[in-house]
Amino acid sequence: MAAMYTVWVSIVYMFHPQTFVQLGASYADVVEFYFAAAALGGGFVAVMWPLCRFWIVAYITTISVGELIAAGCGVILDGVPTRWDLAGWLSMLLYGLVLGLFFGRSLHRGVKAHALDWSSD
Does 5 reside within a domain? no
Q: Render pLDDT for 10-19 as a digit per residue (tens, 0 to 9).
A: 998 899 888 8
Task: Identify the pLDDT of residue 120.
Answer: 47
Q: Render pLDDT for 57-91 as a digit per residue (tens, 0 to 9).
A: 999 999 999 998 888 888 887 877 888 899 989 99
The answer to whether residue 52 scores a pLDDT higher than 70 is yes
Does 6 reside within a domain? no
Does 57 reside within a domain? yes
Range of the domain at 37: 27-114
The answer to whether residue 27 scores a pLDDT higher than 60 is yes
Does 103 reside within a domain? yes
Show Cβ contacts of residue 79 under 8 Å, excluding neighbours closer than 6 positions.
24
Does 7 reside within a domain? no
Does 119 reside within a domain? no
Scanning the chain, the segments in alpha helix (DSSP H) are: 2-15, 18-23, 27-48, 55-78, 86-113
Does 9 reside within a domain? no
Which range has the worst mean pLDDT, 37-41, 69-73, 106-110?
A: 69-73
The answer to whether residue 6 scores a pLDDT higher than 80 is yes
Task: Identify the pLDDT of residue 33.
Answer: 87
Chain CA centroid to CA 79, Å: 18
* Mean pLDDT across 95-102: 91
Does 12 reside within a domain? no
Q: What is the pTM of this model?
A: 0.76
Structural domain count, the chain: 1
